[in-house]
Amino acid sequence: MTIMDRFRLDGKVAVVTGSGQGIGRAIAWGLADAGADVVVNARRVSDLETTAAGVRERGRRALVVAGDIRDFSEELADRTVGEFAKLDVWVNNVGGSDDKTVRALLDTPDEVFRSQLELNLTSAFQGCKAAARRMGDGGVIVNITSGAGTRGSPFTGPYAAAKAGLINLTQTLALELAERGIRVNAVSPGPVITEAYRQILGVEDKLDELIRTIPLGRAGDPDDIAAMVVFLCSPAASWITGEHHLVAGGRTSRSYQYRPKEPAQAPGLKPEDRAV
Residue 150 dihedral angles phi and psi, to the nearest 5° = -110, 0
For residue 266, the 8-state DSSP code is P
Go through the chain and tell me how many residues it has: 276
Closest to 183 measured CA to CA, from 224, 215, 142: 142
Q: What is the CA radius of gyration of the chain?
A: 18
For residue 68, the 8-state DSSP code is -
**Residue 126 CB contacts under 8 Å (≥ 6 apart), including other chains:** 69, 70, 71, 73, 74
- Return the active site residues: 159
For residue 219, the 8-state DSSP code is -
The alpha carbon of residue 121 and the mean position of all alpha carbons in its chain are separated, in whole angstroms, by 12
